[in-house]
Amino acid sequence: MKFFVDTADVAEITDLAATGLLDGVTTNPSLVAKSGRNFLEVIKEICSLVEGPVSAEVTAIEHRQMVAEGRKLATLAPNVCVKLPLTIDGLKACKELTDDGIQVNVTLCFSAAQALLAAKAGATFISPFVGRLDDIGHDGMALIAEIVEIYRNYDQLRTEVLVASVRTPGHVITAARLGADVATLPPAVIRSLFNHPLTDKGLAAFLKDWEGTGQKILD
């Protein structure tokens, strides 16, 4: 399972990339606004920090303008993945850009029907938003199960399921159990995956006992 980080914060990306566990980055207009950076500059910089796909979202809502914006974003770096909203115009643009060989992440997916359409439009990734569904009393992970099941029924659908709007480590584990291809995680959720109180307690005990031996591994 691939882990992307969902942020436009270059310091966070640099820090997490150093773990060797980061497979890509997703951004959206809200995250870019939060970074306070120039959009094109920050995407270019992020693309130089990771080898994997870096999602950069168009802001046009009309198909021709979406394609034009997508083509411009794709010139920034070879690992740019153009992010398009799941609308009729977005899917028309998806078809056109993917036919050109440009990676596309179709975002703001909230139903299995939308995910099926995105796959038929050739999307590289589909981004169902699990946390936002949970927020309104729906079951975000049930949507992931549906999409994974549907995509598995058809070999010709090559779209990867990218679980987005992830809020908890539980979302990540359930996504992995369901066989989702990717999860994009806020930096705090990635960091929380490393933690367990018994790891901290066990390590403290090992180090205390080791200190008692007076030995060193390195001179």
The residue from 132, 145, 157, 187 that contacts ligand G3P (CB under 6 A) is 132
- Smallest separation, CB 209 to ligand G3P (Å): 43
Catalytic residue among 34, 44, 72, 83: 83
Are the CB atoms for 41 and 21 separated by under 8 Å? Answer: no
- Smallest separation, CB 77 to ligand G3P (Å): 19
- Considering beta carbons, is residue 13 or 198 the nearer one to ligand G3P? 13
Please report whether residue 26 would count as binding ligand G3P according to CB under 6 A.
yes
Residues 158 to 187 in contact with ligand G3P, rule: CB under 6 A: 164-165, 184
Beta strand ranges found along the chain (DSSP E): 2-6, 24-26, 54-57, 80-85, 104-109, 125-128, 160-163, 182-185
Alpha-carbon distance 130 to 143, whole Å? 8
Q: Is 83 a catalytic residue?
A: yes
Nearest residue relative to ligand G3P (C-beta): 165
Q: Which stretch binds ligand G3P (CB under 6 A): 11-19, 42-50, 129-137, 151-159?
A: 129-137
Are the CB atoms for 200 and 20 separated by under 8 Å? Answer: no
The residue from 29, 131, 169, 179 that contacts ligand G3P (CB under 6 A) is 131
SS3 63: helix
- Smallest separation, CB 199 to ligand G3P (Å): 27
Question: In the numeric block, which tokens belong to residue 88?
Answer: 């009729």
Evaluated on CA atoms 65, 66, 69, 75, the torsion sign reads negative
Residues 6+ apart with CB under 8 A from 63: 88, 89, 90, 92, 93, 96
Please report whether residue 6 would count as binding ligand G3P according to CB under 6 A.
yes
Q: What does the binding site for ligand G3P look like in residue numbers (CB under 6 A)? A: 6, 26, 28, 129, 131-132, 164-165, 184
Which residues are marked as active site?
A: 83
